[in-house]
Amino acid sequence: QVQLVESGGGLVQAGGSLTLACEVSGGAFQRYITAWFRQTPGNEREFVAVTDRYRRSSYADFVKGRFTITRDSARNTMYLQMNSLKPEDTAVYYCAADENVILSSRRMPGQYDYWGQGTQVTVSS
């Protein structure tokens, strides 16, 4: 059974930084495409960043230059380094993983079968 567990969320002031982690167990981490999404109340889950075993990464326009996605295969863990945080970054952040993701659709949450429970990130102004 594949499990994803996020950690690292919290409260931070605008301009600050946080690093989220997502540990993947029970599956072949190396084969997964792994991604971060976020969601605010009343809104759909939106894409943040994605990466794969070949270190091909893609970011939503609103986080380019501020967030960095990485993964450590030795630890089966994916990270999201978030810098220059803004109040509008406040959301529940979810990690997702799947082996069978169509490259052109990797920004779509429906492509992913495995999800973490979410971690709250709150940025105060």
DSSP string, 35-50: EEEEE-TTS--EEEEE
Q: What are 48's strand-pairing partners?
A: none
Q: What is the pLDDT of residues 16-65, one digit of tens each?
A: 999 999 999 998 899 999 999 999 999 999 999 999 989 899 999 999 89
pLDDT of residue 103: 81
What is the rounded CA–CA span in Å between residue 33 and residue 52? 5
Task: Please report which residue ranges of 2-122 form alpha helices under DSSP H.
Answer: none
Say how far apart CA 54 and CA 112 lie, in whole Å.
Answer: 18
In one-letter notation, the amino acid at residue 12 is V
